[in-house]
Amino acid sequence: MSFWKKVKQTSVVARLVEEKLYERVLREIEAGVRRDGLWAKALQKSSGNEEKAKALYIEYRVQSIKDEAEISTALSDQNLAEKAVVDVKPIDRYDEDGYTPLMRAVKVMDIDAVISLLEQGANPKIKDENFGTSTALNMAKLLLKRAKTEEAKQGFQKIVDSLEPVT
């Protein structure tokens, strides 16, 4: 899909979502539900003109709903991030370069360390911290592909073989 088509689709979706938000606010007003703080702000900004205040209130309430959704998402993301940090076992902690001990063992072609770390419960599915794109297996496959000597090819193939059944 082209960049501009994706932008257009995003804009279309945003407009439809916004329409639903305005509809929700209208239903709130019809049901007699009003946020007094927003109403006071709308009255103040309209210099007491109630017709202008009604229009401003609707605009402020739509933005308020968007803000509430954003806060909810941010808190959810924060809770997930905190949970992820808590759930990481010491054996899977990242080093200063963003690699786990298992990834380090792969990079230096230490098959014994790879096997030992796996036996100790290292998680081979964790992705690097810097880009979040490579697991230990991804790294091993890339290093196998780039290996120049037969010894390196055999070493990285053993590591790939030890990681593949686990992932």
Same domain for 82 and 60, yes or no, is yes
3-state secondary structure at position 33: coil
Domain that holds residue 114: 90-163
Same domain for 72 and 97, yes or no, is no
Mean pLDDT for 86-92 is: 70
Enter the tokens of residue 145: 């592909």
Same domain for 39 and 23, yes or no, is yes
**What amino acid is encoded at 58 in this protein?**
I
Domain termination residue (choose one: 47, 65, 87): 87
Domain termination residue (choose one: 49, 65, 87): 87
Same domain for 77 and 37, yes or no, is yes
Same domain for 62 and 102, yes or no, is no
Mean pLDDT for 27-36 is: 88
Task: Please give the residue that has the higher pLDDT: either 9 or 105.
Answer: 105
Our CA dihedral for 94, 96, 99, 105, rounded to 10 degrees, sits at -110
Domain termination residue (choose one: 87, 114, 142): 87
Question: Which pLDDT score, from 0 to 100, does residue 81 have?
Answer: 60
Question: Which pLDDT score, from 0 to 100, does residue 87 have?
Answer: 56
Same domain for 94 and 74, yes or no, is no
Mean pLDDT for 105-123 is: 90
Confidence bin at 86 (pLDDT 50/70/90): very low
Same domain for 50 and 71, yes or no, is yes
Mean pLDDT for 65-71 is: 83
Same domain for 24 and 44, yes or no, is yes
Same domain for 81 and 58, yes or no, is yes
Query: At residue 116, does pLDDT exceed 80?
Result: yes
Same domain for 61 and 116, yes or no, is no
Mean pLDDT for 113-142 is: 89
Question: Which pLDDT score, from 0 to 100, does residue 55 have?
Answer: 94
3-state secondary structure at position 160: helix
Sign of CA dihedral 130, 133, 127, 113: negative
Query: At residue 57, does pLDDT exceed 70?
Result: yes
User: Model pTM greater than 0.95?
Assistant: no
Question: The domain spanning residue 142 has which CATH number?
Answer: 1.25.40.20
Same domain for 102 and 80, yes or no, is no
Question: Which pLDDT score, from 0 to 100, does residue 54 have?
Answer: 94
Same domain for 33 and 97, yes or no, is no
| Structural domain count of the chain | 2
Query: At residue 156, does pLDDT exceed 60?
Result: yes
Across the chain, what does the average pLDDT equal? 85
